Amino acid sequence: MPVQKTEKIWHNGKFINWDDAKLHVLSHVVSYGSGIFEGIRCYETPQGPAIFRLREHMQRLINSGRIYRMELPYSVDEFSSVACELVRLNKMGACYVKPIVVRGYGEVGVNPLNSPIETYMACWNWGAYLGQDALTKGVDVCVSSWTRIAPNTLPAMSKAAANYMNSQLIRMEASLNGFAEGIALDSHGHVSEGSGMNVFLVHDGTLYTPPLATSILPGITRDAVTKLAVDLNIPVKESAIPREMLYIADEVFFVGTAVEVTPIRSVDKIVVGKGVVGPITRQIQQEFFALTSGKAPDRHGWMTPVNAPVVAAR
Cα–Cα distance, 266 to 181 (Å, whole number): 11
Contact 64, 117 (CB under 8 A): no
Q: Residue 28's Cα: distance from chain center in Å?
A: 24
Positions marked catalytic = 159
**Which is it for the CA torsion 282, 284, 289, 295, positive or negative?**
positive
For 186-236, the pLDDT digits (tens) are: 999 999 999 999 999 999 999 999 999 999 999 999 999 999 999 999 999
CB atoms inside a 10 Å sphere around CB 57: 23
Which residues of the chain are modeled with pLDDT < 70? Answer: 309-314
pLDDT at 146: 98
**Beta bridge partner(s), residue 142:** 182
Cα–Cα distance, 31 to 209 (Å, whole number): 35
pLDDT at 131: 72
Identity at 45, one-letter amino acid code = T
pLDDT at 126: 85
pLDDT at 314: 39
Cα–Cα distance, 72 to 135 (Å, whole number): 36
Phi, psi of 17 (to 5 degrees): -70, 145
pLDDT at 130: 73
Cα–Cα distance, 22 to 24 (Å, whole number): 7
